[in-house]
Amino acid sequence: MSDLGTVDVSLTADEKFGEFLESRQMKYTTERRIIVDEVFSSHDHFDAEDLVAKLHRRRDGRRVSRSTVYRTLGYLVDAGLLRKMALGNREVYEHDYGYPQHDHLYCQQCSTLIEFKNDSLRSLRDEVCREHGFRPVSHRLVIYGTCANCNRSRVSKRRLDMV
């Protein structure tokens, strides 16, 4: 997983979620805490069922049902803590809060996801929007292809084939 560093934020994800819940008269339950802990313990992209599996197989007291996982993921997106995006034919979540805006390179060979940041891309996006009188809120860009590693292997393989 690429690491683009962080964006300074005054609250932890946990605190931010607490504020969100409070503002909506919702409760910060044990289950919601378990989910936030799990989700923010690593920076990997994951889909709903990945998380269900992790939290469902637990033998300790920290099991959470499928419905609660799905419901809570929705709230985390609403709270601005997670972003949901389509990757091939999977729907994956990634950290949004405290993490810089970025786009993705997705290797169709080995399924590696590379994050990258490019400021010109952002300006170009805004310029296009301006030309259309369009007010951008967000965007999703995924470039599909093959990564450096896979390109290397293929070249080696091709060379071997030639021998």
- Token pair listed for 159: 């060379």
Q: Considering the complex, what minimum distance in angstroms separates the CB of residue 111 from DNA?
A: 14
Residue at 97: amino acid letter: Y
Q: Is 27 in the site for its own copies (CB under 8 A)?
A: no
Interacting residues with its own copies between 78 and 107 (CB under 8 A): 85-86, 105, 107
Backbone angles phi, psi at 100, to 5 degrees: -70, 150
Whether the CB-CB separation of 28 and 45 falls below 8 Å is answered with no
By CB under 8 A, what part of segment 122-141 binds its own copies?
124-125, 128-129, 132-141
Q: Which does 132 bind (CB under 5 to 8 A by kind): its own copies, DNA, none?
A: its own copies
- Single out the segment in contact with DNA by CB under 7 A; choices: 42-50, 102-110, 138-146, 148-156: 42-50
d(CA 105, CA 88): 12
Rg from Cα positions in the chain: 19
Q: Do 137 and 83 meet the contact criterion of CB atoms below 8 Å apart?
A: no
Q: Which residues bind its own copies (CB under 8 A)?
A: 85-86, 105, 107-108, 114, 116, 118, 120-121, 124-125, 128-129, 132-148, 151
